[in-house]
């Protein structure tokens, strides 16, 4: 009896061992995209090593579409660090925050081609019509959440999860003959409101002539953060024309009364992505001023201004140059809240409180303790439900959570910082909400 049963037990044991080993070894592919602001910390700088510059950075085996460039994940990037430690693969397409939200809502299919920076993206080159995650520097608004609720993904995905990951400096690249000069906060207001339109009025610029303003044409979290700074700093002061009001918006044209043509006329120059803005300032247009993440500015070796006497590349560094997190009070991380311009509102819809509370928002009234004044907080967002197999759900959770794991996360590029003070709360949201 024992001899007869032994082979059977062994076969079962071998089968179980084989299944367990296969499960442990199987890699999950995670597809995402959106914000360009955190591109350098997320995917590294290899996307600038091809021409045209690549929107898609991936080790998941997908392509940007026939004839378009793609890049590998860069050494030391957050996503490659995650991939190496987990064996899971990650794909990220730089499209801008607004485009990423469209793929979450279902109005744009994520499995269309990402393409490259020579043209606009069609999708995220994802493996399915819906992404696994997106990056956004513009936290979800009432309109954004309602677009999801009214879109094709809401029935199966139920709700959204959003958590903050990083903070970073928004720099002002410039192409005057002067290597570097300083703008006061008042001068930033004057230039971007059109009150000052010629370099001759900007001391230290070393030039004269019209100030060309290079701005983002795509829906952009960088634009949202920058226009939020302008609204907070400039509105109601003598540094803007009478009655002029900046409105925080993902679209720069919509943030200005009268739009870019009304404020700047022929001085306005549009570009797609932070990469496109910096390239336009650095290569295409002399005597220009733009806005972009400091990582992209440094990556392209572009000239930039200091603001209020502070250098954006020192954001997230102490006086000795050592990396330090931006510490927020735990109470600064709100639950179940969206951001409409500068106003915090409740997550809309008829969903449960538990689902709505998966949307976390850093209170916009919270001061980022850092000398350089123009900064953004960037987020990852995804779905609360329908995230696939248990292995895939865990892979998504682990990707989100690497930003809070002080033992495994990599050092960040200059001008970026991890967030402190909200780690436990954010991790709890990820582990509870991603299902």
pLDDT surpasses 90 at 408? yes
Spatial CB neighbours of 364, under 8 Å, sequence gap ≥ 6 = 228, 339, 342, 344
Return d(Cα 113, Cα 91) in angstroms, integer. 12
Domain 169-313 part of CATH 3.40.50.150 = no
Specify the pairing of strand 182-183 against strand 304-307: parallel
Return d(Cα 426, Cα 429) in angstroms, integer. 5
Question: If you compute the radius of gyration of the chain from its CA atoms, what whole number of angstroms results?
Answer: 23
pTM for the whole structure: 0.86
* pLDDT band at residue 370 under the 50/70/90 scheme: low
Return d(Cα 152, Cα 149) in angstroms, integer. 8
Tell me which residue of 252, 282, 281, 279 sits closest to 264, measured CA to CA: 252
**pLDDT by residue (tens digit) across 203-248?**
999 999 999 999 999 988 899 999 999 999 999 999 999 999 999 9
pLDDT surpasses 70 at 80? yes
pLDDT surpasses 90 at 371? no
Return d(Cα 338, Cα 96) in angstroms, integer. 19
Q: How big is the CA angle at 88 (ends 82 and 94), to the nearest 5 degrees?
A: 70
Question: How confident is the model over 188-205, as a mean pLDDT?
Answer: 97
* pLDDT band at residue 319 under the 50/70/90 scheme: confident
* pLDDT band at residue 175 under the 50/70/90 scheme: very high
Instruction: Give the pLDDT confidence score for residue 366 in this predicted structure.
Output: 83
Find where tokens 């123009």 sit: 374
Tell me which residue of 153, 259, 241, 132 sits closest to 197, measured CA to CA: 241
pLDDT surpasses 90 at 17? no
**pLDDT by residue (tens digit) across 145-159?**
999 999 999 999 999
Give DSSP secondary structure letters for 296-312. Answer: HHHHTT--EEEETTB-G
**pLDDT by residue (tens digit) across 27-46?**
999 999 999 999 999 999 99
Tell me which residue of 163, 168, 222 sits closest to 381, measured CA to CA: 163
Considering the chain, tell me which residue range(s) the CATH 3.40.190.10 domain(s) occupy: 29-168+320-433, 169-313
pLDDT surpasses 90 at 392? yes
Q: Are 343 and 249 in contact (CB under 8 A)?
A: no
pLDDT above 90: percentage of residues in the chain: 89
Mean of all residue pLDDT scores within the chain? 92
Instruction: Give the pLDDT confidence score for residue 15 in this predicted structure.
Output: 37
pLDDT above 70: percentage of residues in the chain: 94
pLDDT surpasses 70 at 3? no
Q: List, in sequence order, every beta strand (DSSP E) within 251-350.
A: 268-271, 288-289, 292-293, 304-307, 326-327, 333-335, 337-340, 343-346
pLDDT surpasses 90 at 26? no
Instruction: Give the pLDDT confidence score for residue 14 in this predicted structure.
Output: 33
pLDDT surpasses 90 at 260? yes
356-391 core/surface letters (b: 16 or more CB in 10 A; e: else): bbbbbbbebeeebebebbbbbbbbbbbbbeebeeee
Domain 29-168+320-433 part of CATH 3.40.190.10 = yes
Tell me the two tokens of residue 224. 């949202």
Pick the range with the lowest mean pLDDT from 17-26, 231-240, 267-276, 413-422.
17-26
Q: Are 359 and 161 in contact (CB under 8 A)?
A: yes
């Amino acid at each position: 009896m024992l001899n007869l049963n032994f082979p059977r037990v062994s076969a079962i044991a071998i089968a179980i061992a084989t299944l367990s080993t296969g499960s442990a070894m199987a890699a999950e592919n995670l597809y995402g995209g959106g914000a360009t602001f955190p591109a350098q910390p997320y995917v590294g700088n290899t996307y600038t090593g091809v021409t045209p510059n690549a929107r898609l950075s991936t080790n998941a085996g997908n392509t940007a579409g026939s004839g378009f460039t793609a890049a590998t994940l860069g050494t030391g990037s957050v996503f490659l660090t995650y991939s190496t430690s987990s064996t899971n693969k990650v794909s990220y397409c730089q499209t801008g925050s607004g485009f990423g939200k469209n793929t979450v809502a279902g109005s744009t299919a994520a499995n269309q081609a990402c393409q490259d920076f020579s043209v606009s993206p069609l999708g995220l080159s994802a493996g399915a019509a819906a992404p696994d995650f997106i990056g956004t520097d513009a936290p979800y608004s009432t309109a954004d959440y309602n677009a999801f609720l009214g879109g094709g993904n809401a029935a199966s995905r139920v709700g959204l999860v959003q958590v903050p990951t990083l903070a970073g400096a928004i720099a002002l690249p410039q192409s005057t003959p002067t290597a570097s000069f300083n703008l006061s906060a008042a001068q930033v207001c004057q230039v971007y409101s059109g009150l000052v339109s010629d370099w001759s009025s900007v001391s230290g610029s070393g030039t004269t002539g019209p100030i060309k303003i290079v701005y983002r044409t795509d829906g952009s979290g960088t634009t949202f953060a920058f226009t939020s700074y302008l609204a907070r700093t400039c509105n109601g002061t003598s540094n803007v024309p009478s009655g002029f009001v900046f409105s925080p918006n993902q679209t720069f044209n919509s943030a200005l009364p009268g739009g870019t043509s009304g404020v700047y006329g022929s001085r306005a120059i549009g570009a797609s992505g932070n990469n496109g803005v910096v390239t336009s300032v650095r290569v295409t247009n002399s005597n220009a001023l733009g806005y972009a993440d400091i990582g992209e500015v440094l990556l392209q070796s572009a000239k930039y201004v200091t603001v209020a006497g502070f250098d954006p590349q020192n954001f997230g560094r102490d006086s000795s140059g050592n990396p330090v997190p931006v510490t927020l009070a735990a109470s600064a991380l709100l639950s179940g809240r969206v951001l409409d311009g500068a106003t915090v509102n409740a997550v809309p819809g008829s969903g449960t409180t538990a689902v709505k509370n998966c949307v976390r928002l850093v209170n916009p009234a919270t001061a980022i303790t850092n000398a350089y004044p123009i900064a953004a907080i960037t987020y990852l967002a995804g779905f609360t439900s329908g995230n696939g197999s248990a292995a895939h759900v865990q892979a998504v959770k682990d990707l989100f959570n690497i930003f809070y794991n002080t033992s495994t996360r990599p050092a960040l590029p200059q001008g970026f910082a991890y967030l402190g003070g909200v780690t436990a709360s954010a991790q709890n949201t990820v582990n509870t909400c991603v299902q």
